[in-house]
Structure 1
Amino acid sequence: MTSTATRPRGARARAAIAAKTLRTDRWWFAPLITVIGLSAWVVYATVRVFMHDFYWVADYHYLTPFYSPCVTERCVEGAAHFGRFLPGWWIIPDAALTLPFLLLFRLTCYYYRKAYYRSFWLSPPACAVPDGHKEYGGETRFPLLGQNLHRYFFYAATIISLINTWDAILAFHSPKGFGFGLGNIILVLNVVMLWAYTISCHSCRHIIGGRLKHFSKHPVRYRAWTFVSALNVRHMQLAWITLGTLALADFYIMALAAGWFSDLRFIN
């Protein structure tokens, strides 16, 4: 605060405000919804990953993305498209080859960082609302230094999206031949949304055109950069949509595998 001795002539003293914030709107609502939404998804995904059951529908070759690729000795043979080379211990997820990279890709995502910094860490919870911590160190210390690895997790996520795409294609070829049902629509929808979220990543946008000095000399990359930039504007929405499509695909396949209801078939 400027003292009386150094305050410019005619300037008013800063008001002494005891309240932490003068915002009267429900600024706490968005962080609360984020906490509830992310917590619910993490609980559901954790339960499903370690359930080790109801992940494969042999009649239609449906494999839930939570178990793709299935690589432990516990995996059903038909679901193990890339072999079974990890031990079948309970603590090891059946998709142990990909789940850690997917988790790290989302944790280091620019949107998700904003989401959990504001909601779980209150740093800060909203604009014009004080930080919940006395000190601010940024991302300069462990483990937040790992946020700088986001680009490399993006590469891994791209490979995983290719694997999920392969799973969706295989699901059209059931033991009876070509088939098409509601499960196929859900799996394809999930794959499309995953690709949209993955390539809308800020790192992808920078890789494609962030370092170009003359777009006119790189017309193909410029068009790709323009397309990715348009998706990047929706990165937050795509981040949430893909959580929904992942849960939907997993729940639908779990319900079919558990025998709760039958798949709605259009062909075969």
Structure 2
Amino acid sequence: MSAPAATGVRSATRARIAERTLRSDRWWLTPLLTVLGLTVFVVYATIRSFVRTAYWVDDYHYLTPFYSPCVSASCAPGSSHFGVWVGELPMWIPLAFLSLPFLLGFRLTCYYYRKAYYRSFWLSPPACAVAEPRARYTGETRLPLILQNAHRYFFYVGFVISLVNTYDAILAFHSPGGFGFGLGNVILVVNVILLWGYTLSCHSCRHVTGGRLKHFSKHPVRYRIWTFVSKLNTRHMQFAWITLGTLIITDCYIMLVASGTISDLRFVG
């Protein structure tokens, strides 16, 4: 049996160039920075999701997004904003088991992140006019990459989780001592706003709001929503990276306050 014909840049109809690229600029810098940035976040988020320490500040009702919603008997007292649904969890199950798998799926199947890790981790391709190391290209037509089409369903769950994060941020203004807010509240609110920016700028959100409409003139409200989401969509890449940073900052600040390393800067109460 003959070997399958090569596709992509190695197909018979493409120019035969021995060099991987004729580019003389530092084309490898962007893939390298992407690998470093995504690796730092994945390592940090994985460690923090499993350590089960310093994630809840009872005095101010600060709950880190990496542990929300916390609905098991293993959660710190007061951190179960939606009640206790299950008993004690083994250490290998994160306390935010209801949200983390879906958030991972939402980010992993995101159109921008797909481009980012395809080009950086898989080098497919690493940059424009740079040949990838594979001889064949099948895109997202086969397993496992065909599962990327589930992105819109992860978006629905991600939307609900953004509502949960919003509730957590609002609840943090009502501590046991009454209404008050501090630097932690500011960080939580900014993080939630940016998370909404990432969620609403999603390509699936744009499709949900107006993708199937044939006559915008008959649906003026949806058209306005679609226009707003379309404007956000142009900033989806920026929101994708910014929210990785704000999630780390939010979690790190709550961790430092919960552990007693620093005190929350209070403005009221």
Both structures adopt the same fold (TM-score exceeding 0.5): yes
Counterpart position of 1:65: 65
Q: Give CA deviations for 1:105-157 in whole Å, capped at 9, x if unaligned.
A: 00000000000000000000000000121211111122111101100000000
**Distance (Å, rounded) in 1 between the aligned partners of 2:120 and 2:15:** 29
Partner of 1:124: 125
TM-score between both structures, scaled by the size of structure 1: 0.93
In the alignment, structure 2 segments of 5+ residues that lack a partner are 1-13
Matches of 2:158 and 2:95, distance apart in 1: 17
Q: Tell me the distance in 2 between the aligned counterparts of 1:97 and 1:86.
A: 14
Alignment match, 2:99: 98
Q: Report the alpha carbon displacement of residue 86 of structure 1 after superposing the two structures with TM.
A: 4.5
Pairing 1:57-206 to 2, within 5 Å after superposition:
57-84=57-84, 85-206=86-207
1:49 aligns with 49
Unaligned runs of 5+ in 1: 1-13
Q: Which residue matches 2:11?
A: none
The 1:91/1:251 distance shift into structure 2, 3 A limit, reads: same
The aligned residue for residue 235 of structure 2 is 234
Structure whose CA Rg is larger: 1
Matches of 1:210 and 1:66, distance apart in 2: 32
Task: Quote the offset at 1:72 in angstroms.
Answer: 2.3
What letter corresponds to residue 113 of structure 1 in structure 2?
Answer: R
Runs of 4+ in 1 over 3 A off after TM superposition: 14-17
Deviation at 1:15, TM superposition (A): 8.0
Once superposed, what is the RMSD of the aligned Cα atoms? 1.2
Aligned to 2:246: 245
CA displacement at 1:77 relative to structure 2 = 2.2
Which one is further off, 16-25 or 45-54? Answer: 16-25
Identity within the alignment, %: 69
Specify the SS of the correspondent of 1:167.
helix
Q: 1:141 to 1:211 in 2, by over 3 A?
A: same
SS at match of 2:267: strand
8 Å CA contact 1:182–1:264 kept in 2: the answer is yes
Deviations along 1:56-89, whole A, 9 cap, x unmatched?
A: 0000000000000012221012001122315320
Equivalent position SS for 2:247: helix
Moved more, 79-88 or 249-258: 79-88
Alignment: residue pair count: 255
**Distance in 2 between residues matched to 1:264 and 1:132, nearest whole Å:** 52
Is the 1:197–1:242 contact (alpha carbons within 8 Å) kept by the matching residues of 2?
yes
Secondary structure at 1:183's aligned position in 2? Answer: helix
3-state DSSP class of the match of 1:266? strand
Secondary structure class of the residue paired with 2:122: coil
Matching of residue 212 in structure 1 with residue 213 in structure 2 = yes
